[in-house]
Structure 1
Amino acid sequence: APNVQLPKIELFSTDKLAHAGAYVVLVLCLAWGIWKSKNRAPARGEMFLIFCIATLYGALMEWVQGTYFPNRFFEYDDMLANTAGAFLAIMVATPFFKNRSPKP
């Protein structure tokens, strides 16, 4: 077999944890907005839409960074961390909001 070096992925670096954490906050804020404005827990479809918005936003930001800013790069690892953070937030937010009613 040829000696092929696979790219090194550091999923638990400070940078990747910061990316994931930022997307946890983004998703929780979007879900909280629905919870407060509609006076009910976000529906499954709304949670899916929030996840899609966060994931697409992360991809767009990576593209903009890699395209328009010198010395900045499009990083798939960052997109993976963003998506993982969004997914984690959906998993936490769904049961949290489902069992609570917002106060008027």
Structure 2
Amino acid sequence: MLKNPYLPAVLCLIVITVLSLSPSVPMPKLNLLSSDKLGHAFAYAILTWLMFSGYKSAIGKDANWKTGWLFFGLSAGYGILMEIIQGTFFPYRFFEVADMIANAFGALMVVLFFAKSTKDTNQSQAH
């Protein structure tokens, strides 16, 4: 067991930061279903999932809706911050609203998954 159950989420955050601020190969502008956008959604889904996992390890129970929305806000907010930093301080990176949408989408999918699985678990325990 990890001494700090949130360490995997912190490490994921560091990886996202490094990838977000490193020079990248220019990619053609495609639609929201491009591999770039799927990569953004996947990275922020993993980050959010690791937050849920860390919470359960630290607290001993699943997160409630309020905590789930907090995790969504933290993940999506960090995605917005990364886009602002890219567009402001790094001439080889670009501010893209579509990236922010993809980041938030990935985080949201995890929150909805956990909400559904927690609801299903609670219902099955009640019967």
Q: Shared fold by TM > 0.5?
A: yes
Please give the alpha-carbon distance, in whole angstroms, between the structure 2 residues aligned to 1:27 and 1:93: 10
Which of 40, 45, 67 lines up with 1:19 in the alignment?
40
**Can you give the 5+ residue segments of structure 2 that lack an aligned partner in the other structure?**
1-28, 123-127
1:4 paired residue number: none
Higher helix share: 2
Which of 88, 93, 100 lines up with 1:67 in the alignment?
88
1:18-37 matches, cutoff 5 A: 18-37=39-58
Q: TM-score, normalised by structure 1?
A: 0.82
2:103 paired residue number: 82
Larger C-alpha radius of gyration, 1 or 2?
A: 1
Which of 57, 64, 69 lines up with 2:78 in the alignment?
57
Measure how far apart 1:9 and its partner are: 6.1
Aligned length: 93
- 2:63 alignment partner, SS class: coil
**Can you give the 5+ residue segments of structure 1 that lack an aligned partner in the other structure?**
1-7
**Which structure is richer in relative contact order (CA contacts within 8 A, separation 6 or more)?**
1
Q: TM-score, normalised by structure 2?
A: 0.68
Please give the alpha-carbon distance, in whole angstroms, between the structure 2 residues aligned to 1:25 and 1:71: 26
Measure how far apart 1:60 and its partner are: 0.2
Please give the alpha-carbon distance, in whole angstroms, between the structure 2 residues aligned to 1:45 and 1:21: 23
Counterpart residue type for residue 88 of structure 1: M
Q: Deviations over 1:41-82 (max 9, x none)?
A: 101110010001011100000000111111211000000000
Q: Is the 8 A contact 1:23 1:85 kept in 2?
A: yes
